[in-house]
Chain A
Amino acid sequence: MNLVLALTIGVLYACGVWLLLQRSLSRIVIGLAMLGHGANLLLLAAGGPAGTPPIAGSDPATTADPLPQALALTAIVITFGVSAFLLALAYRSWLQRRDDEVEDDVEANRIAAALRALDADREAREARAVAEQEGGA
């Protein structure tokens, strides 16, 4: 296996995952595209070493494996189509909100608010208990 190809695949996956974890939608879209490229190169690498073009009649021992290339072509087309849809969706989201950030999860916010309320409640009770003790003493 080609070292440059292996390193490229690794870098594409790493950058893709890093971008996917960002809060801005445009970065997420680019991250997914990079992950897709990494996966397609991985398919190519899975086919083994390069060889002569696989034309009917040539010796199978020296030709490149055509199957992963066919798979990669299909995967590229799918990634392309879905990326276009995702970009359209991101644009729509920007048109509606004029903002590229991924919104907070409503449910998570509610839980955080409930936890804060509980904490505040407990602190108030503790403060009251301390005040009563001091008053008693």
Chain B
Amino acid sequence: MGDLLPLLIGVPLVGAAVSLLLNDHARAQRALGGVVLSTQLALSVALLVAVWDGSTLTARLGGWEPSIGIVLAADPLAAMLLVVAALMLVAVLVYAIGSPRTNDTAPYFHPVYLTLAAGVSASFLAGDLFNLFVAFEIMLVSSYVLITLGGSRDQVRHGMTYVVISLLASTLFVTAIGLLYAATGTVNMALLAEALQGIDPALRTALGLLLLVVFGIKAAIFPLFQWLPDSYPTAPSPVTAVFAGLLTKVGVYAIMRTQTLLFPTDGASTVLLWIAGLTMVVGVLGAIAQNDVKRILSFHIVSQIGYMIMGVALFSFAGIAGAVLYIIHHIIVKTTLFLVAGIVETSTGTAQLRRLGGMLHRAPLYAVLFLLPALSLAGIPPFSGFVAKLSLVQAGLAIGQGGIVAVSLAVSLLTLFSMTKIWNGVFWGAPDEPPAGEEAVGFVPAGRGMVVSTGVLVVASLAFTLAAGPLFAVSERAATVLLERTPYIEAVLGT
């Protein structure tokens, strides 16, 4: 079964190469993208089934020893994230093809989209830090191209911020890898887990903090998040949706993997708890101050990252399991919300709250597509957000961290408030009178592909609640692998 792992990276990369050759044939490119990503989804599901019982699959490329060669490893956490990521990539591709304003016909959209998929898979599967760096670069370089696709003035300006900050993080990552290698003589994560126990604790803490900063920039945690609400809203909607769903979560995954495997603590980590609380509060306050649907949603990404960090910070089985559930819930719901924002923008030509209004009467279906994930994001029962938040709150109370639980509940309330703001501004009431000198917004129904793929994701987030029992069970197994460490280390080293 381990042979499956390289395929998850190879299939989209080969697909990207073929897609590049088909650059003049839009129809063939679309079909190819669909086939490749569906294959990816099927392979990921097969992988998840194989590791469902909590085992870890590994593949040694070229048969080299883990100390000098490349090892790919898939534990239940990586497999779950791969399945959700592939599902998002397929849904957003269908959306992009069905949408008139996404530049899906722009040259290189499809090849770059497939390399992005390869980079995301490689990040989840990387067994050593240097390959994690390479995987990040594959993903980020693709994202640089996608975010500046079209090259309008606004996109270049905000894309520049994004590229510079990501590049700085990558340089810090290489620095961290160099220092880790100098201190321990290896970059393989399983070997590092053992080697780091033997070095000076002060040095270990410094290395841990450096890696936290690197992944913190990618994951957009407080105080390293400012680039995100600045750059995400300018990209075309499908691109923003897939970035919002996947890219920051790859950063969270890296934090989760390195903090549990390399820098385990006894009990909750105070630093991470403070970061989690501040990320939640600052993100949601930023969202409340905004007047543009996409900007509100972008600030919410930051706020939600805080919940995932909270789960990691608790450092208990229940906490990590809650964080895993939260990541999966968040990827689905956040992508859906950005897709709905894209539908609104496509059909009216704007995402500004002050210009929109009364969409409920014109397009009740869009209102429903927004309302369900919005309530889920705020954590209203019986939606997926409720299940995820409940497990985090229980995990927090179980080990007596009442402070962070109180913060998380207050932030939920504020989330609901800012979702209500979008609801009132876009869907409720009568269309706003246009400000003097501006035309009233029109209404053109969005493409069928856009609505259908968004609908499928809404159904997926509802199915999350129905399948909450088995999902929580597998999240707990994922948490067990992360916290016990030895199953993962033994699987990678083959001992």
Contact = CB atoms under 8 A, between A and B. Distances in A.
Contacts of B157: 93, 103
B171 interface: yes
Contacts of B178: 39, 42-43, 45-46, 68
Contact of B156 (A71, A74, A78, A89): A89
B177 interface: yes
Given A20-B168, A35-B168, A75-B174, A85 B163 contact: yes
A84 to B, nearest CB: 11
Contact of A89 (B153, B160, B170, B187): B160
Contacts of B151: 92
Interface string A17-56: 0001000010010001001101110110111000000000
B21 interface: no
A137 B160 CA distance: 61
Nearest to B173: A39
A114 B164 CA distance: 29
Contacts of A89: 144, 148, 156, 159-160, 163
A85 B163 CA distance: 9
B187 A45 contact: no
Contacts of B230: 105, 107
A40 B177 CA distance: 10
Interface in A61-97: 67-68, 71, 74-75, 78, 81-82, 85-86, 89-90, 92-93, 96-97
Given A45-B182, A67-B68, A89-B156, A28 B177 contact: no
Contacts of B68: 67
Contact of B171 (A35, A46, A86): A35
A86 B171 CA distance: 14
Contacts of B164: 20, 28, 32, 86
Contacts of A74: 130, 134
Interface residues of A, number: 34
Contacts of A97: 153
A54 B446 CA distance: 62
Given A46-B181, A47-B181, A89-B159, A39 B175 contact: yes
B61 interface: no
Contacts of A36: 171, 174
B144 to A, nearest CB: 6
B177 A43 contact: yes
A23 B276 CA distance: 32
B137 interface: yes
Interface string B237-262: 00000000000000000000000000
Nearest to A40: B174
Interface in B168-213: 168, 170-171, 174-175, 177-179, 181-182, 187
B430 interface: no
Contacts of B153: 96-97
B54 to A, nearest CB: 32
B141 A81 contact: yes
Contact of A93 (B133, B160, B168, B171): B160
A3 B410 CA distance: 54
A20 B164 CA distance: 9
Contact of A25 (B130, B160, B170, B177): B160
B191 to A, nearest CB: 12
Interface string B125-149: 0000010011001000100110010
Contact of B168 (A32, A45, A46, A67): A32
Contacts of B134: 74, 78
Given A43-B178, A46-B182, A71 B130 contact: yes
B115 to A, nearest CB: 12
A80 B175 CA distance: 17
B406 interface: no
A20 B171 CA distance: 12
A39 B167 contact: no
A32 B151 CA distance: 22
Contacts of A71: 130, 177, 181, 187
A38 B141 CA distance: 21
A82 B177 contact: no
Nearest to B157: A103
B167 A86 contact: yes
B167 A32 contact: yes
Given A46-B178, A92-B156, A93-B160, 19 more contacts: A28-B164, A32-B164, A36-B171, A42-B178, A45-B182, A68-B178, A71-B177, A71-B181, A74-B134, A75-B174, A82-B141, A82-B170, A86-B164, A89-B160, A90-B160, A92-B151, A93-B157, A96-B156, A105-B230
**Which 6 pairs, one residue from A and one from B, show the smallest C-beta to C-beta distance?**
A46-B182, A42-B178, A39-B174, A46-B181, A43-B178, A46-B178
Interface of B: 68, 130, 133-134, 137, 141, 144-145, 148, 151, 153, 156-157, 159-160, 163-164, 167-168, 170-171, 174-175, 177-179, 181-182, 187, 230
19 contacts: A32-B168, A38-B175, A42-B178, A43-B177, A43-B178, A45-B182, A46-B182, A67-B181, A68-B181, A71-B177, A71-B187, A82-B163, A82-B167, A85-B141, A86-B163, A86-B167, A96-B153, A103-B157, A105-B230
